[in-house]
């Protein structure tokens, strides 16, 4: 059993290394998420600014249409005025033309304001776009750095995984299955050294006869309380 134990400890070492490297890899995620959300925020602002240009443009077009209709109405009044005979009808048309001129002037002033608003919206969008460009540019170096670090870690993980594969080839299938089942459980590790008379994981006392079994190295002993495999450090160092 000692041979099994040694290989299992070797396997556990590989698994711990893989786990550590994966944790290191995961540690980059919050920073990457921050970078992404910073970009997303600027994208949303840019989209809103572009929408505002569209809305201001629609308002301007709407006013242009309205003004054009008014102008046509005024033109028809002027034409009618040339042909009317009755003084009463003429003065009514004159009054309508005067009123129309006032309305038109008001609408035209409104159009000028709407054109200003389009320009303002365009300037705002251009500014937002520039900011977004700066933010994107500002992230390039760090993103490249992170990609390199992640790449290195993935490569190291791949290497250790190959080594792990080699180690598992030296372990009897039932033992490996047992190890992997325990590893998937609640305990962080599958194998723990005896801690005095107790399990090194849950610190429940191990009965004398089982400690003897561990000491003899005759079997891989499972902790009755938490289910991890228990070994004695002396057994390992003696070999």
Smallest distance from Zn ion to CB 221, Å: 10
Rg (C-alpha) for the chain, rounded Å, is 41
**Cβ 20 to Zn ion shortest distance, Å:** 23
Q: Which stretch binds Zn ion (CB under 5 A): 5-13, 21-29, 98-106, 192-200?
A: 192-200
**Interacting span for Zn ion (CB under 5 A) from 94-102, 151-159, 197-205, 209-217:** 197-205
Backbone angles phi, psi at 218, to 5 degrees: -80, -25
Number of alpha carbons in the 13 Å side-chain half-sphere of residue 17:
18
Residues 65, 58: Cα–Cα separation, whole Å: 11
- Matching residue, tokens 């002993």: 221
Instruction: Give the number of residues written for the chain.
Output: 239
153 versus 191: smaller Cβ distance to Zn ion: 191
* Angstrom distance (rounded) from CA 32 to CA 146: 8
**Could you tell me the smallest distance in angstroms from the CB atom of residue 183 to Zn ion?**
14
Question: Residue from 223, 229, 231, 235 that binds Zn ion (CB under 5 A)?
Answer: 223
- Among 14, 42, 60, 201, the residue binding Zn ion under the rule CB under 5 A is 201
Q: How far is the CB of 210 from Zn ion (least distance, A)?
A: 11
Residues within the interface to Zn ion (CB under 5 A)? 199, 201-202, 223, 225-226
């Amino acid at each position: 059993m000692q041979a099994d134990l040694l290989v299992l400890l070797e396997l556990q070492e590989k698994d711990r290394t893989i786990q550590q490297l994966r944790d290191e890899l995961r540690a980059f995620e919050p920073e990457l998420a921050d970078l992404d959300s910073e970009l997303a925020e600027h994208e949303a602002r840019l989209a809103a600014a572009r929408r505002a240009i569209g809305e201001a443009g629609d308002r301007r077009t709407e006013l242009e249409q309205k003004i054009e209709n008014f102008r046509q109405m005024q033109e028809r009044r002027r034409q009618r005025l040339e042909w009317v005979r009755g003084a009463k009808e003429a003065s009514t048309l004159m009054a309508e033309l005067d009123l129309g001129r006032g309305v038109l002037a008001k609408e035209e002033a409104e159009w000028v304001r709407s054109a200003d608003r389009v320009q303002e919206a365009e300037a705002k969008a251009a500014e937002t776009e520039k900011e977004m460009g700066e933010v994107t540019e500002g992230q390039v170096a760090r993103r490249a750095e992170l990609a390199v670090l992640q790449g290195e870690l993935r490569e190291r993980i791949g290497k250790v995984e190959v080594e792990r594969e080699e180690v598992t080839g030296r372990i009897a299938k039932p033992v490996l299955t047992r190890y992997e089942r325990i590893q998937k459980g609640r305990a962080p590790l599958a194998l723990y050294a005896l801690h005095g008379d107790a399990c090194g994981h849950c610190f429940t006392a191990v009965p004398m006869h089982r400690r003897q079994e561990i000491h003899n190295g005759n079997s891989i002993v499972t902790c009755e309380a938490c289910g991890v495999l228990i070994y004695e450090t002396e057994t390992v160092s003696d070999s």
